[in-house]
Structure 1
Amino acid sequence: MTSVQGLLAPQRQALILEELNNAGAVRVSELVRRLGVSDMTIRRDLDSLASRGLAEKVHGGATRPVVRPSDEPTFVAKSSRQTAEKHAIARRAATLVQPGAAVAISAGTTTSALAQQLTAVPGLTVVTNSLPVAEALMENDSDDRTVVLTGGECTPSRALVGTVTVAALHSLHVDLVFMGVHGLDAQAGLTTPNMLEAETNRAMIAAGGRLVVVADHTKWGTIGLSRFARIDDVDVVVSDAALPDDAREHLSQRTELVLAG
């Protein structure tokens, strides 16, 4: 991190988060020197990042949070990660949708970005178990768009899951399913830390003709508690240009790989 002074709190926190992601840890004393602010200001910045699940405070600084297979980040925590990549993926994935299509969109921050892009596509029917996806589509109201919200119990990622959700999905059929993932791995496949969400994702995949996974490069190699599909089940993976070479090789041999940006 280069020496930068006179920044507003969101700008400082973005730089601190970038350093955390790159180095894995930051020290209060070093941040005070580089950002030209007080010890108390830095501690407030770290408190803010920790409250959003983006940092774990330790004596003298903070570390990148340790992610366990059963940990489920909140929607707010995920919203500030890899935002540029997610929007690039969303723009590219939206080109796969034809006017008048019926699509299903799972929960997630990348799928929420996709929903914003799909407001420009006429005549869509969108089935979703995501409150943010439904909100994005309904904020931009259109007489020729139908939004079907499944109902169910709400998770920390603002996904609707459970028996009500699964029953609704079993009665539907769509042309495309857009699926966000917690993790994408060569051996484990598509995973989530929430077992109820895994069951819901399986039902959504079963309702679709083609399965499109939207996942930024940081999802590769991450493994959640519950697998809901294999990579061989996926028709298209839309990721970003920072996807590592081993991931590109593995995915391109098993599915159509599209890199955005």
Structure 2
Amino acid sequence: MLKRERLNQILKMVNENGIVTAAQIMEDLKVSDMTVRRDLDELERNGKLVRIRGGAQSIDYNIDYELSHIQKSTIKAHEKMEIARYAASLIQDDETIFLGPGTTVELLASLISDRHIRVITPSLPAFEMLKESFEDRVILIGGAYRSTTGSFVGPLANKMLSSLKFSKTFISCNGIADDEITTSSMAEGELQALACKNSRKTYLLADIHKFNREDFYVYYDLYNIDELITDSSVSQDVLDHYGEFTKIVQTKGDEK
């Protein structure tokens, strides 16, 4: 079987079943474990599927079901830290920044506890990381609590946010498809969109598995993002495509 045919067969299996194991692919296609690993890595780099432990998951799998906060934190943890480190390097002393909900943004929060800045966030995990060292320089936006992301949203949160201005805003998403940035919660999307509109510069933090993926609510336009920061494993084809909509910064894989 030619490589291209094999890749197409793997992609078909993943899309039809939602999740397939490496063992299933080995058995059905009569190939080695090493071949399956290489093929899955290539398909992920091209934004065709999501690698998970022991196999792969379809880009569109469970689009109507949002993963829990703990589940999200285990996906692409190394890549998320790459992104968070670069984002932290953009923050200057005395700035006022907004940190949106999301596990990548939480990693960013963990890296800036020694900075002399003001932070506004609806994210309870981010607030917990910063409250001891920041004292009166960190503000937690109140509202209705979403346990899935550990953030506060809704009319009260939006009202508070509407009167605030930021030097920089760092947001995340559940998916990016062409110029559309999507998430599963309308309330969470509205909150992040409002923060972007009230900020001098906006940064979208998105690892490889967010590309070519859609979720329920389109909350912002990629054209209006100043920089999309992604990890070192994203393929050139994906970078070229999304580079048509905004500036993309790709981190270096050897960053420590």
C-alpha separation between the residues in 1 aligned to 2:56 and 2:111?
A: 34
Question: Structure 1 residue 132 and structure 2 residue 130: aligned?
Answer: no
C-alpha separation between the residues in 2 aligned to 1:73 and 1:152?
A: 22
Q: Is the 8 A contact 1:214 1:238 kept in 2?
A: yes
Aligned partner letter, 1:109: T
Paired residues for 1:155-166 under 5 Å: 155=146, 156-166=148-158
Q: Please give the TM-score of this superposition, normalised by the length of structure 2.
A: 0.74
Superposed displacement of residue 259, structure 1:
1.1
Q: 2:178 aligns with which of 174, 179, 186?
A: 186
Superposed displacement of residue 169, structure 1:
0.7
Partner of 2:243: 252
Which stretches of structure 1, 4 residues or more, deviate above 6 A after TM superposition? none
Q: Is the 8 A contact 2:114 2:133 kept in 1?
A: no
3-state secondary structure, aligned to 2:201? strand
C-alpha separation between the residues in 2 aligned to 1:221 and 1:26?
A: 22
Identity across the alignment (%): 25
Q: Is the 8 A contact 1:235 1:255 kept in 2?
A: yes
C-alpha separation between the residues in 1 aligned to 2:20 and 2:246?
A: 36
Aligned partner letter, 2:211: W
C-alpha separation between the residues in 2 aligned to 1:114 and 1:195?
A: 24
C-alpha separation between the residues in 2 aligned to 1:244 and 1:68?
A: 24
- Is 239-248 or 215-224 further displaced after alignment? 239-248
The count of residues paired between Structure 1 and Structure 2 equals 208
Q: 1:115 aligns with which of 109, 122, 139?
A: 109
Structure 1 pair 202/27, CA: closer, same or farther in 2 (3 Å)? Answer: closer
Q: 1:197 aligns with which of 176, 184, 188?
A: 188
Kindly provide the CA deviation profile for residues 92-149 of structure 1, in whole angstroms up to 9, marking residues without a partner as x: 111111011100010000000000111132x2111111111111112x5245x61111
Partner of 2:20: 25
Q: Is the 8 A contact 2:173 2:206 kept in 1?
A: yes
Partner of 1:11: none
Superposed displacement of residue 62, structure 1:
9.7
C-alpha separation between the residues in 1 aligned to 2:184 and 2:178?
A: 17
Aligned partner letter, 2:89: T
C-alpha separation between the residues in 2 aligned to 1:233 and 1:205?
A: 9
C-alpha separation between the residues in 1 aligned to 2:80 and 2:56?
A: 24
- Looking at both structures, which has the greater relative contact order when contacts are Cα pairs under 8 Å and sequence separation is at least 6? 2
Partner of 1:241: 232
Partner of 2:95: 101
Unaligned residue ranges in structure 2 (runs of 5+): 1-13, 25-50
C-alpha separation between the residues in 1 aligned to 2:22 and 2:238?
A: 33
